[in-house]
Structure 1
Amino acid sequence: NIPTHNLGEVIDACFAYLDNPAITVDELMEYVPGPDFPTGGVLLGREGIRQAYLTGRGTVILRARTEIEERPNNREAIIVTEVPYQVNKARMIERISEVVNLKLIEGIQALRDESDRRGIRIVIELKAGVEHRVLLNQLYRHTQMQVSFGINMLALDGGRPETLSLDRIVRAFTAFREEVVARRTRHDLGKARERAHVLIGLAVAVANIDEIIRVIRQAGDPAEARANLLARAWPAADTEPLLALLGTPGGALEDGGYRLSDAQARAILDLRLHRLTGLERRKIAEELEEVAERIRGYLEILGSREKLLAVIREELQSVRDRFADERRSTFTDDEIDPDEEDLIQREDMVVTVSQGGNIRRVQLSTYRAQKRGGKGRAGMSTRYEDAVSQVIIAHTHTPLLFFSASGIVYKLKVHRLPRTGPQGRGVKMQQVIEALPAGERITAVMAMPDDEESWQDLSVMFATRNGNVRRNTLADFINIPRRGKIAMKLDEDDVLVGVKPCGPGDHILLATRQGKALRFP
C-alpha cells in the first residue's frame, strides 16, 4: 500500500542520492516531503509521514480541500474543491446528508453538487451565524472529508519482499536503474557488433568487388559460391584498424588477409547490384563508421561507472522535463483530532440554577424582547417548593466553576450542561458532575471571564456561614481535575455559602440575615 508521490520530487531525491549515497531520510524528505495524491487534498501533520519513511509503515491523514465563500444575510458556504484519495464523491455527499438527517451535524442549510468537467465543486451552505470552523471539524469527524491512509512500503528488493524505508527505496531504485542501463548497453553493444560484423564483410567485398564477382560467377550454385568465398583470405587493409575495436566474431585476419564468416558470406551473396554504386559504397562506409562510434560509446559506458550514472541522470532528467508537474497535495499543521470544543458551535446561553440543585441551559435567543403589554414567558419550570437561585449569561465555551458546601470546586464548560426548552426543569447536579458525592450540594456557580489574560489579575472571594472570608487568585482555578479540587478548607460546623469574582478596585459587601452589612475594599 505505497501512496502516490510527485514524479519531480522523487527524481530530485534520486539525484540527491547519486550525489551523496550516505544521505539520510530526513535529508531526503527535503526533496520528498510526503505523498502527492492525484486527487489533491490536504495532508495533516508530518510526523506520520516521517514515521512511514523511517520504518516503512505509518499513517497519514488526508482531508478534502475547502474554501469559504461569503453569502448575503451573514451566511457562509463551504466549497469542497478536492476530495481525499480513493473517496467516492457521491458516497461522501450521501454521508453528509445522512449525518444532517441524524442530527449529528446541525447548521447546514443546503447541500449541492455543482461539479462539472472543470473540476469538483460541492457547495455546503450554512445557516446564519454558524461558524464554518466548527462545522468543518464536525464534517471531518463524521464523514469521508477526512480519511486516514495506511502506508506499507512493501517492495521486492533483490527478488525478496521487504518493507523498505525511504532511503532504501531510493537506493534500490537507483541500483535497479544502474542494472537496467548496464544490461541494455550490453545488449545494444552486441547488436551493434553484429551489424558491424556484417558491414565489415560488405566493406571487404566492395574493396575486392571484381574478384568477388568472378568467384561468384564461376560457382555452380549459391552453396558452392559461399564455400569459395569462405575458402580464401581477402585483402582487408582498409578495415583492419576497425577489427580490434569491433571485436566481431567469426571473421579473422590471416596472413594479411581477412577470412569471411558464414554470416558475412551470406550477406555478400544477398547484396544487390545497386549497392555497388559509388553512392551506396559510401553509405556502407558511413554506416560502418557510425556503428563503430556507437560501439566506442557503449564500451565507455560499460567501462566507467561515472558515465553509467551520467546516462541514468540524463534519462531521469528527460522524464522529469516531460512528465513532472506541480504538487497537488499540500500540508497543514492543524490538529488531527480536534478538541471536542472545536466541534461545538459558539452560542450565547442562559444557565439557570435552582435552590433544589437543578441546572440547565437555554439558548439566549429564546428569550426575545417583548413590546409594551407583553406577558413575559416562563424562564424555568420548578416544583412548588423550589426556586431559581442563579441566572448566568455565558456562551457554550465558557468554563463554569461549581463550589460545593464542603469547599470543593469542580469545573465544567457550558456546552456539557443539559440543553432544554424554556419550560424544562433541568437535571440534578449529580448527573452533571460525576465526581460530586451523593448528598453533597452546590452552593455557588461562577462563570470564568471571557478574557483569559485577566485571570491573573482577578481574585475569587469566598464567604462561609460562620462569617469566615478568604481571597484567592482566579488563576488558581484554571486547571481542575475531574475529581475536583479543594478551594477552601472549612471547619467541621462551617459551610461555604458564597463565591464571587472581584478585581483590585472592587469593594466587598457582606450582609447578614439580621440586615446588617460590612463593606471593605
Structure 2
Amino acid sequence: MARRTTTPPPDVPEKIVDIDVSDEMRGSFLEYAYSVIYSRALPDARDGLKPVQRRILFGMSEMGLRPDRGHVKSSRVVGDVMGKYHPHGDTAIYDALVRMAQPFSLRLPLVDGHGNFGSLDDGPAAMRYTECRLAQSALLMTASLDEDVVDMAPNYDGRENEPVVLPAAIPNLLVNGASGIAVGMATNIAPHNLVEVVAAARHLIAHPKATLDDLMGFVPGPDLPSGGRIIGLDGVREAYETGRGAFRVRATAHVESVTPRRKGIVVTELPYNVGPEKVIQRIKEAVDAKKLTGIAAVDDFSDMESGLRLVIEVKNGFVPEAVLEQLYALTPMEDSFNINAVSLVEGQPRTLGLKDMLEVFVAHRLDVVRRRSLYRRRKAEERLHLVDGLLVAILDIDEVIALIRSSDDSAAAKVRLIQVFDLSDAQATYILEMPLRRLTKFSRLELESERDELRARIAELTEILDDEKRLRRVVSDELAAVAKEHGTPRRTVLLEGSGAPTKAAAVPLEVADDPCVVLMSSTGLLARTTDDRELPADGERGAHDVISAAVRTTARGHVGLVTSTGRVLRLPVLEMPTLPPTHGAPSLAGGVPLGALVELDKGEQPVGLCSVTGEGPGLALGTAGGVVKRVAPDVPSSSDQWSVIRLDDGDRVVGAVELTTGDEELVFVTTDAQLLHFPASAVRPQGRPAGGMAGVRLDDSARVLWFGAVDPAREAVVVTAAGSTSALPGTSGATVKVTPFSEYPGKGRATGGVRAQRFLKGEDTLLVAWVGPAPARAATPQGGPAPLPPIDPRRDGSGLPTSKPVAAVGGPLEPGGPRPATPAAPEPSA
C-alpha cells in the first residue's frame, strides 16, 4: 500500500489517497502495453503498415509528393508528419521513412529516395541531406483516399484527420513483410513475391474455401529482397499453417578462378539483412580463432552496377567447396529466419497463417471497392440530378431567363424556378449559378451525352454493389493489373532440405596428395589433371594448343621447369589449376600462364618439365651447339632453382626430356635439315656442374633446332617445316613434311645426321621440327589447330604448303607409361 499526496490550493486542506501499488502498476503497464501494441509496434493486417509508416505515406500524399514531382528534403516530410500525425520524435519517423526507401529491406519499396539512404552495413545520411517522394507503388497504397473508402479519425490533437487504414491495393503485409517488438509480443514476417501473392489472393477470391496446399501452389515460400537460397521448406509450411516457423537462408556463391594461381569463392547474394562487412568481420574472427582454415584473403568488390560481389580467396591446397561449407557453418553466410506473423485484426493482435493474412486482405479490398463504388454512384447520381435539371432549363430557356429577370432577388428566383419547373433546391441553385456561355446548342448535346454516360455508370456501379460475384471479379481484375505493372521475377531459390544448420564439410578440407600429371602447352600454359586415366589416347584431339611437356607427380608435390639457360626452377603443383574431367585430350584453355608462377630472365625460355624426386635414369639435355648431356638424378632438396649444365658462351638448351628406362633414342634435328639419333645409353650420366659431351656434328652455319627422345617400341613420326631465313616472321610460306621415324637410320654420337627434308627454291632453313609418337598434331602461334599434310614415306623429300603457319607440334601422351610428351623448342629471334 502506498500514499499519493496532492498539493491543494491555498486554504484547502491536504488530501492523501491510499492506493494499491500492484493495481497502479498493473493499470499503468497495461495502458503502456496497449499503446505500444496498437499505436507503434505492430502492423495492421489489412494494409501491412505500422502507424508511423501509414502516417508517412498519408502525409506525403497530402503534400503532393507524387512520383512525377520533384524530390523534397526528407526533413520537410519528417517535420510535417511529426507536427500533424505522429508526435513520437523525428528519429522514429526518419528511420521508418528510410526503411521504406531501401530496396534491400522491402521487396517493393514505397518511397523513392534520393541520396544516401544507407546500406546493410552503414546507416543513412542525416535527413537534412536526403530527399524523397512517393514511389509508384505507394500510389496503390493511397489510391481513392478521397472517395470515402476507409474510416478517418482525429489526429493526436484533434486538429487534423488521418486514415485508420490505407486502401492498400497491394497485399503489403506479405509482399514487404514486417518486423517489430511490442510489449510481451513481437512480429517478424518475411517478404514475398508480389506476383505469387496476388495469384494466391485471386485464387482465394474465386475459391473462398481453398486449402493451404492450394494457396502454397501459388506461394511456395518467401522471396527475399536480397535473394539467396532458402534451405528446408518444412519450417515455411509450418509458418504458413500456424503463423510461427523457421527456415534457413544461405548465401548464393560459386567457385571460380580469381587469379591465375588461385581459386576463390565468389558470393553474389547474402541472407536477408546480412551485409558483406558483417560477413568479413566474422571470417576474420573465425580465422584468428583458428576455427576457419584455408582463407587467404577477403575482398569486397560490390558496386552499384554489378551489385554484391564478395571474393573469398582460398589458399592453395584447400578444396574450395569444403571451405564454402565451413563458411556456411561459421559465418552469417547461412542464417536463420524465424517467422512470427503477429498483426492487428480489428484492433486485436493475432497470429495469422498464410490463408488468414490473405483472407483479411481480400476482405479489406472487397470493403474498399464496395465503399468506393457507393461513393462513385452517389456522386454520379448527384451529377445526374443536376444534369437533368439543366436539360429542363435549356428546353425552356427563354422562359427561365424571363422568370429570373422578373424576380426581385436570387432567393425569389430560386423559389419560382422550383415551383414552375418542378426542380429541386440543388437544381435550381445550379441553374442560377450557371454561366451564360453554357446556354448553347452544343451544351445541350453535351449534357445529353453526359446524362447517358452517367446512367450507364450508375447501372454498372449498382451491378457491382448488388452482385457479390461481380464485386469479387472487380477486385480480382484490379489485383491482376497491379501484378502485371509492378511484378518482378522471383529472386530467392527454394531448396528442399531439413533446414538444420550446416555441420562438417562433406568433402575433405585439404587437397589430397593424389597422383596427377602436370601439363605445359606450347603457348606457356600450365595445368594438372586429377587422374592418370584422364590422359588422352592415341588419335584424340584437345580443344587448345598442343601439349609440349608433361610429367607425373602428386597434387602436393613439385615439378621442375627446365629453361634455355640450363636452370631448373621448382614449381609447386598446388598452384596450378586442375583441368576438368574430359573424355578426350585435356584442354589447357583454363591453365595458368607460366609467368604467374615464375619469373624468367630476359631471353630465357621454357624447354621442358622434369620431376624433382631424384629417381629414375635422369634428365637428357640438348643444346643449340650440338652438346648432349645426361644429368644424374641429383636434385637439391632445399633449393628452388639450380643449374643442370654448364653452357658455353652463346649456347643455349633447346630441349630437355626426362628419360623413363634409359633405352630411348636421343634425337637431334638441325636447322640445315639434318636428323641424328643414337641410343641414350651412349651418353654416360654426369653431375650437374658438367658441360656435357658432343652430340651432333654441325656445319658452320647450322644450329640444333630441336632435341628430344623417342621410345623405339612405339611408332613415331618426324615433322619438319622449311622456310627462308630472310622472310619476315609470320610471312614465310613454309612447307611441312611428315615422315615415319623408321625411315631415318641411326648413327653414332657426335656424327652428322641424315637429311630430313629437301629444301625447295627460296628455302634455306628449318623453322620447326619435332619427333614423337604418332599421330602428330600442330598448332599455330596463337594456339589454334594447324593442319598437317599426309605422311610422306620419302626421308629426303620436299614438304607441302599449309593453309596455316605451324609454330609447335605435339603428339599423344602415353596413358600406359610414365614418360611425358616431348616439347618443341622454338628458334629465338635474331
Same-fold status (TM-score > 0.5): yes
Residue 228 (structure 1) shift: 1.4
Are the equivalent residues in 2 in contact too, given 1:45–1:334 (CA < 8 A)? Answer: yes
Q: Which residue of 2 aligns with 1:287?
A: 450
Q: Does 1:92 align with 2:266?
A: no
Distance in 1 of aligned mates of 2:219 and 2:491: 13
The alpha-carbon deviation at position 370 of structure 1 amounts to 7.1
Query: How much does 1:316 deviate?
Result: 0.6
Match of 2:405 in 1: 217
User: Within the alignment, does 1:313 sit opposite 2:476 as a pair?
Assistant: yes
Quote the Cα distance in structure 2 between the aligned partners of 1:53 and 1:148: 17
Report Cα offsets for 1:102-159 as digits up to 9, x if no partner.
Answer: 3221101121111111211111111113122221121112211111111111223334
- Look up the SS of the partner of 1:189 in the other structure: helix
- Name the structure 2 match of 1:431: none
Residue 810 of structure 2 corresponds to which residue in structure 1? Answer: none
Residue in structure 2 matched with residue 21 of structure 1 by the alignment:
208
Decide which moves more: 47-56 or 131-140.
131-140
Which deviations, in whole Å up to 9, do the C-alpha atoms of 1:291-338 show, x marking residues without a partner?
A: 111101111101111111110111011101101110000022355323
- Provide Cα deviations, 1:33-70, integer angstroms capped at 9, x if missing partner: 10001111110010010110010001121111112113
Are 2:362 and 1:174 equivalent residues in the alignment?
yes
Question: Out of 437, 449, 455, which is 1:274 matched to?
Answer: 437
Deviation of the 1:286 alpha carbon:
1.2
Q: Which residue of 1 aligns with 2:504?
A: 340
SS of equivalent to 2:463:
helix
Kept in 2, the 8 Å contact 1:62–1:148? The answer is: yes
Match 1:302 to one of 465, 487, 498 = 465
Give, as a single letter, the amino acid of the residue that structure 2 aligns with 1:332.
L
- In 1, the alpha carbon distance for the partners of 2:455 and 2:302 equals 59
SS of residue matched to 2:189: coil
Q: Tell me, yes or no, if the aligned pair for 2:319 and 2:511 is still in contact at 8 Å.
A: no
- The equivalent of 1:31 in structure 2 is 218
Q: 2-side partners of 1:317 and 1:41: how far apart?
A: 27
- Give, in whole Å, the separation in 1 of the partners of 2:300 and 2:196: 34
* More relative contact order, 1 or 2 (CA 8 Å, 6+ apart): 1
Q: Is the 8 A contact 2:255 2:321 kept in 1?
A: no
Q: Which residue of 2 aligns with 1:330?
A: 493
Instruction: Give the superposed CA RMSD.
Output: 2.7
Asked if residue 264 in structure 1 is aligned to residue 264 in structure 2, the reply is no
Structure 1: how far apart are the matches of 2:431 and 2:497?
77
Distance in 2, Cα, partners of 1:75 & 1:137: 18
Q: In 2, distance between residues paired with 1:325 and 1:180? A: 26
Q: Is the 8 A contact 1:52 1:58 kept in 2?
A: yes
Cα 1:346–1:334 change in 2 (3 A) is farther
Q: Which moved more, 1:266-275 or 1:92-101?
A: 92-101
Give the deviation of 1:16 after TM superposition: 1.8
Distance in 1 between residues matched to 2:488 and 2:406, nearest whole Å: 68
* Alignment correspondent of 1:59: 246
Question: Are the counterparts in 2 of residues 65 and 82 from structure 1 also a CA contact under 8 Å?
Answer: yes
Deviation >4 Å, runs of 4+: 71-74, 346-349, 364-376
Instruction: Give the corresponding residue for 1:104.
Output: 291
Distance verdict in 2 for CA 1:365–1:290, change over 3 Å = closer
**Matched residues in 2 for 1:183 and 1:60: separation?**
40
Residue 317 of structure 2 is matched in structure 1 by 129
Q: Distance in 1 between matches of 2:309 and 2:326?
A: 20
**Unpaired stretches in structure 2, ≥5 consecutive residues:** 1-187, 514-554, 559-571, 573-611, 615-632, 638-830
Relative to structure 1, the CA distance from residue 375 to residue 316 in structure 2 (aligned partners, 3 Å threshold; closer, same or farther) is closer
* Alignment gaps of 5+ in structure 1: 235-258, 350-363, 377-521
* Contact 2:299/2:312 (8 A) holds in 1: yes
- Number of equivalent positions: 338
| Aligned pair partner of 2:197 in 6, 10, 14 | 10
Distance 2:363 2:495 in 1: 34
Alignment-derived partner of residue 148 in structure 1: 336
1:52 and 1:59 in contact (8 A); partners too: yes
Contact 1:81 1:120 in 2 (8 A): yes
Amino acid at match of 2:429: R
Aligned residues of 1:40 and 1:84 also touching (Cα < 8 A):
yes
CA deviation after TM superposition for structure 1 residue 73, in Å: 6.5
How much identity, in percent, do the aligned residues show?
A: 38
- TM, length-normalised to structure 2: 0.39
How far the C-alpha of 1:346 sits from its partner, in A, is 4.5
Deviation at 1:91, TM superposition (A): 2.2
Q: Helix, strand or coil for the counterpart of 1:340?
A: coil
Give the superposition deviation at 1:27. Answer: 2.0
Moved more, 77-86 or 10-19: 10-19
Do residues 231 (structure 1) and 419 (structure 2) align? Answer: yes
